[in-house]
Structure 1
Amino acid sequence: MLDARPAGVVKGTALLLPGFTGSKEDFIALLEPLAEAGYRAVAIDGRGQYESDGPDDQQAYAQGELARDVLAQTEAVGGPVHLLGHSLGGQVARAAVLLEAAPFTTLTLMSSGPAQISPAQQQKVKLLSDALAVMGMDQVWAAMKALDPPEDADTDGEELRRRWLRHNPAQLIATGRQLTVEPDRVDELAAVQPLPKHVVSGERDDTWAVPLLDTMAQRLHAHRTVITGAEHSPNTDRPLETAAALITFWDQH
């Protein structure tokens, strides 16, 4: 867990959930500006991600199990919280809210769409899952680097490799499958009232098309922010602009 606390008065607490193959470190660049604005920001690894241990049983990573983890984590940090989920984390956050909305002050879905990921990303996830079933994590890492053109790869660096190697393969296979079959639950989420909602994305995204995120925001009657110059990970592409958008939204609620 990464826990950034304001030096002065605390306006509220934010709980940040990372995406598929991600970890709490994906939010590092957001923590300082959020804390300076008066928000305690707690970034976590999900079950089986990086420094959060998990079993080798894929059933342990069912979406409902991960959603209940979020409810327990919210209680542990002393909710209510402003809940934010990036990509896969957004769909887990949605599932948590649909289980029990009371612990959450607001919900922000960052680069996280209404249903399954794009067909091209589904193919990538299937390739990854097939590889994980027969190869070690270090072998899969090498294969990912070989497949991605250097200018497109986001898997460079020893630190990223070190995090990757500590993910549980069962978690990756189970949550990857979830991303490829997730149903549209936007209407269910829209019915959760009163709960202010925020849809954030970059101006380009190959996991969920940006117009799809625009439509989802309209269906949710949610605040919508597009971060200029960012792609699927505004939190790392444009952290200061992303933090400013989050602070503006949270300050209103």
Structure 2
Amino acid sequence: MSTPRFLTLPPGVRPQQIETPAGTFAALEALPVRGIPERSPALLVPGLTGSKEDFIAVLQTLAQAGRRVIAIDVRGQFETQGPDDPAAYTCAALGNDIDAIARAIAPEEPLHLVGHSFGGLITREAVIDGRTKFASYTLMSSGPGPIVGPREKAARVMIREVPEHGVEYLWTNRMEPEALAAGVSDEIVTFLRKRLLANSIVGMTTMTREILTARDRTDELAQIGVPTLVLFGEHDDGWPPAVQSEMAHRLGAECVVVPGAVHSPAVEAPETTAAALTRFWNAAESHGVPATTTTTT
């Protein structure tokens, strides 16, 4: 469970609705405080129990480099509506949404795509299907196949308890105690509850099954030729850092390890994360990105 650092929107960040043939998606849009965007835009896609608010701490910094930056709620997540049809929440179906959103945001130019955690499994579908050209691709705290470790156990609890007891039960008995034990402020706890209860139950359970059964598509992704960055916290408790490093090697991708961060670098180390993304995006736009390099920022 990601915990946004703050909920007050910074200057230059505003709520937005992205209209697409696939539906309407709730978003946060960041623009440079002064001047118009001069560089390619970026699309940020959150993880399973997250939302667009997980990127609040990096949006302004990313936009100040001269970009339009959009963070979304995926279908059935928080403020984006979704149907009661499990087929709408597979990685392939959600990947189709990413194609539609990317074309709506930047119909005439490639954009930079970032997928966090389960968002990485969704976004790689859009990259692999080849229908949309991307300026670059970043897998943030995301792995090659099913999630493992403590977050795998949490996902199995979710898939067992939500259909039987409902989301409120999951919040009261698991997520709220974890948040309080971690010292999360009352404001954020209130937001986390509101966000969780707004999610589609069908969407949440289907996406949980997807993250537990995802197949490894690294070799397919490596054939696409999009400049790729693998970025994760040094203490990631989702896909182990060693697994993500190996994935980066297989992709011929740059690999950035964020010191002190766990599974949500944009929340836990926003300035470091924003700096790494901006540098990578600038390099991808100007002359491509060197492959198979590992950086600890």
TM-score normalised according to structure 1 size: 0.94
Q: In the alignment, which of 57, 67, 70 is matched to residue 42 of structure 1?
A: 70
Partner amino acid, structure 2, of 1:171: G
The SS at the match of 1:12 is: coil
- The C-alpha deviation readout for 1:126-166, integer Å capped at 9, x for no partner, is 21111110223222210113663844587961011111110
* CA distance in structure 2 between the aligned counterparts of 1:251 and 1:4, rounded to whole angstroms: 17
Query: Cα 1:233–1:35, aligned 2, differ >3 Å: closer, same or farther?
Result: same
Deviates more, 1:129-138 or 1:221-230: 129-138
* Percent of aligned pairs sharing the same letter: 40
Give yes or no for the alignment of 1:238 onto 2:269.
yes
Unaligned runs of 5+ in 1: none
Partner of 2:290: none
Partner of 2:217: 185
Partner of 2:246: 215
The SS at the match of 2:231 is: strand
CA contact (8 A) 1:145 1:153 kept: no
Q: How does 1:115-130 map to 2 (within 5 A)?
A: 115-130=145-160
Larger relative contact order, structure 1 or 2 (CA cutoff 8 Å, min sep 6): 1
* Corresponding residue pairs, total: 252
Root-mean-square deviation (CA), in Å? 1.7
Give yes or no for the alignment of 1:4 onto 2:30.
yes
Partner of 1:227: 258
CA contact (8 A) 2:265 2:273 kept: yes
CA contact (8 A) 2:149 2:237 kept: no
Partner amino acid, structure 2, of 1:4: A
Deviates more, 1:134-143 or 1:155-164: 155-164
Q: How does 1:79-98 map to 2 (within 5 A)?
A: 79-98=109-128
Deviates more, 1:146-155 or 1:22-31: 146-155
Partner amino acid, structure 2, of 1:197: T
Partner of 2:105: 77
The SS at the match of 1:39 is: coil
Deviation at 1:24? 0.4
* CA distance in structure 1 between the aligned counterparts of 2:138 and 2:176, rounded to whole angstroms: 34
- The C-alpha deviation readout for 1:42-67, integer Å capped at 9, x for no partner, is 00000000000001121211111100
Partner of 1:204: 235
Unaligned runs of 5+ in 2: 1-26, 285-297
The SS at the match of 2:142 is: coil
